[in-house]
Chain A
Amino acid sequence: MKRSPLQTFLLYACVVVTLVIILFPVYWLIVTALSTTVELSGLPPSFWPEMPQWGVFTKVWNERPIPLWLLNSALAALGSVALSMVVSVLAGYALSRFNVRGGHGLGLFILTAKMLPATLLVIPLFAIFRQLGMIGNLWTLVLAHATLIIPFTTWMLKGYFDTIPRELEQAAMVDGCSPLGALWRVILPVSTPGLAATALYAFVLSWADYAYARTFLINSQDSWTANLGIATMRGEYTTDWNEISAAAVFVALPIIIIYLFLERYLVGGLTAGAEK
């Protein structure tokens, strides 16, 4: 369908206005990184620093082990993605396809992981992992993050599997496929958008965690994740917000790259869906 020039104009106007509003805080983050404190606490606000302090990025990069923090965050996130994808694909498939008695109840039980205030989880979890000798170990984070991720991804994938006609796998099973084989060969390929969204969700959630990293990695500076590292940049009496903002830009970049990569698969579902 062709748009009229007016429609095109309105569309672009909408896009521009929306993006300006949404991106403004991110832009402000960069301005904060590049400004001196004097400029930040003045009116009218300056929308671009007179002398952008680009050196802040190299300063932060050189003074703090940012590559190590990013690596640790990436390891924890990839581990969480892998673990939660496997577990939630199986669970989501079971909830969607098998009439498990109490399946709905079990599904809700999985969701309780999202309901208890984190404040109450921290101390008992610390005690468990201490007894297992896992304090200061990135695996601990992977396990804890996966538990936060699985409830959502399970439900989300169940939703996706529900929209896929059962005839597809029944046909495959008639051809001699096991239920798991049908899941692997028939269901998963047409669930790309769901899987991509799942992976993205898992990655972002693990990447954004601070509370668990704070508790489990306390005494092992070598395995500090990016958010934990950034938090330790806060001082008791004052905090250099421009340096923290600069570090935050480094931390946000990998997520943007991941999204760039996964966005294709979110869109890829368009063609898969059309073939249904």
Chain B
Amino acid sequence: MKTLIKSAALAALTAGLMTSVAALPAAAETLKFVSWQVDDGGMGDWWKAAIEKFEAEHPGVTIEFTKVERASYADTMTTLFAGGQPPHIVHLASFEYQNFAENGWMENLDPWLEKDGIDLAGWAGQGTCRWNDETACIMMLYFGFMMAYNPQILADANVEVPTNYEEFLDAARATTKDLNGDGITDQFGTGHETKGGAGQYLTEMLNYILDAGAYWTDKDGNITIDTPEMVEGLTRWKTVVEEGLTPVDMSAGDVRKLFADGKIAMRLDGPWLYGTMEEGAAADVLEVAKPPFNPPLGGSSNVLGMASEISDEQKELVWDFIKITMSPEFQRSYATVAGNTPPSPAADVSGVEKDVPHFQIIVDTQKAAAAAGIDRIPTGLEIQYGEFGKMVQEEVQRMLIEDLDPADVVKTMQEKAEAIQNG
């Protein structure tokens, strides 16, 4: 009896382990598509609609749409490419695709665009997709920042919605409070990520740095950190963090939740903040305004491309899928379904503001940021962005921990950035 149970268990185990082999799809062709946006309310629905349309137009072809969480995304994609099995449809953040393109792993899309006579003039952020004089990808999103705020907190502190940095700082100071009197701050004027990845840390700082008129590099890729403007930008960041106007050591995700639950007065963020706002405890009161900073922070977000080493038939199919996402129909639903600003200049976004009340604001800041040529990825440091970001984050943290003078910090950063750029 005992042996019978044992062998039955063994058989079940073997069968279970093998199912994954047996379950291989029988379809004629399967395109692999990995993304971190599968479960994201708006974006996930938008991708799924595009896949549905593609599959309806290509009977027998299926797209396998799998989620890999953002935190492990770059690692996983690196493993897939380096291990020799990249996904057919390549979805990457706009600050990480460059290393893949540099290795020749992404198909040059110029011939495909030419073949179909597609002109990308005016396509927001598409310049970021040019790599080594080729079009390595299509920009999916170029966004502008907005400022979401909590009118109740502002009214309680008797301050108006700020329209410039000085007013913003005053409002943040006035709304940072210890509500229950236990000596610990429990309501914050604003909120920034100050722990975690360098990418987000730099993005949060850029709000102040851009407004101070500074940036990491110029258009030719020369490092421009050692400037009076950058000193001013860093001083602002130091002020906000040191005065405790933001909760410390929080990830951006937790800051967004705090804001949505009504414990932060003002939060500068991209259009995606809206989804979190709607779910929080303070959802009914929160409002959105133009950011008080000029130029507003904007930037490219994510790109779509194809792997270079797949068969020509597969490339045709992937290209068809990319074209669907670029079609006027899907560029419009990028706004209506996903609540984002579509990059296509031809996208018809009329009437979107009925569903997404702040839509005009993010369209305006997207245009303002694009006009000022703003992006989070500095020209001339694309390949080294990971290392550069980590260096900047560390030097800024050193400035905060050891209370260093921003005027000295910019000199160190300039030196180190040049060393990184020269490899």
Contact = CB atoms under 8 A, between A and B. Distances in A.
Q: Do A and B come from one complex?
A: yes
Interface of A: 36-38, 41-44, 71, 75-76, 78-79, 82, 122-123, 126-127, 130, 135-139, 142, 214-215, 218-223, 231-239
Q: Which 3 pairs, one residue from A and one from B, show the smallest C-beta to C-beta distance?
A: A126-B83, A223-B20, A75-B16
Given A123-B83, A222-B23, A238 B257 contact: yes
B180 A237 contact: no
Contacts of A135: 85
B8 to A, nearest CB: 13
Contact of A219 (B32, B69, B82, B260): B32
B105 interface: no
A234 B70 contact: yes
B103 interface: no
Interface residues of B, number: 52
B84 A215 contact: no
Nearest to B72: A214
Given A41-B261, A126-B79, A236-B36, A78 B13 contact: yes
Contact of A37 (B32, B66, B257): B257
B83 A236 contact: no
Contacts of A239: 253
B220 interface: no
A43 B180 contact: yes
Contacts, number: 116
21 contacts: A37-B261, A38-B262, A38-B281, A43-B184, A44-B182, A75-B16, A76-B17, A79-B13, A126-B83, A142-B17, A214-B68, A219-B66, A221-B66, A232-B39, A232-B68, A233-B39, A233-B69, A234-B71, A235-B40, A238-B256, A239-B253
A223 B144 CA distance: 39
Contacts of A82: 13
B20 A222 contact: yes
Contact of B261 (A38, A214, A215): A38
Interface string B21-34: 10100000000101
B37 interface: yes
B79 A215 contact: yes
A43 B179 CA distance: 10
Contacts of A142: 17
B307 interface: no
B66 A218 contact: yes
Nearest to B87: A219
Interface string B268-290: 00001101100011000000000
Contacts of B252: 237
Given A236-B36, A236-B40, A238-B257, A123 B68 contact: no
A122 B69 CA distance: 17
A123 B263 contact: no
A218 B253 contact: no
Contacts of B23: 220, 222
B311 interface: no
A136 B72 contact: no
Contacts of B261: 37-38, 41
A79 B17 contact: yes
A63 B182 CA distance: 40
B229 to A, nearest CB: 30
Contacts of B256: 237-238
Contacts of A38: 261-262, 281
Nearest to B276: A238
Contacts of B350: none
A218 B68 contact: yes
A237 B17 contact: no
Contacts of A78: 13
Contacts of A138: 16-17, 20
Given A42-B186, A43-B184, A75-B17, A215 B275 contact: no
A39 to B, nearest CB: 10
Contact of B76 (A43, A79, A218, A237): A218
A214 B84 contact: no
A25 to B, nearest CB: 18
Given A138-B20, A235-B40, A235-B69, 4 more contacts: A215-B79, A219-B32, A220-B23, A236-B272
A130 B32 CA distance: 15
B64 interface: yes
Contacts of B262: 38
A36 B263 CA distance: 14
B84 A71 contact: no
A65 to B, nearest CB: 13
Given A36-B281, A215-B76, A237-B273, A232 B67 contact: yes
A122 B79 contact: yes
Contacts of B67: 232
Given A219-B66, A223-B20, A238 B253 contact: yes
Contact of B69 (A41, A215, A220, A234): A234
Contacts of A214: 68, 72, 76
Contacts of B78: 123
B236 to A, nearest CB: 25
B258 interface: yes
A83 to B, nearest CB: 11
A79 B84 CA distance: 28
A122 B78 CA distance: 10
Given A43-B180, A130-B83, A235-B39, A222 B19 contact: yes
A122 B261 CA distance: 40
A240 to B, nearest CB: 9
A199 to B, nearest CB: 14
B182 A237 contact: no
A76 to B, nearest CB: 8
A210 to B, nearest CB: 9
B404 interface: no
A231 B34 CA distance: 15
A44 B254 CA distance: 18
Contacts of A235: 39-40, 69-70, 253
B79 A237 contact: no
Contacts of B18: 139
Given A215-B79, A237-B276, A41 B258 contact: yes
A124 to B, nearest CB: 8
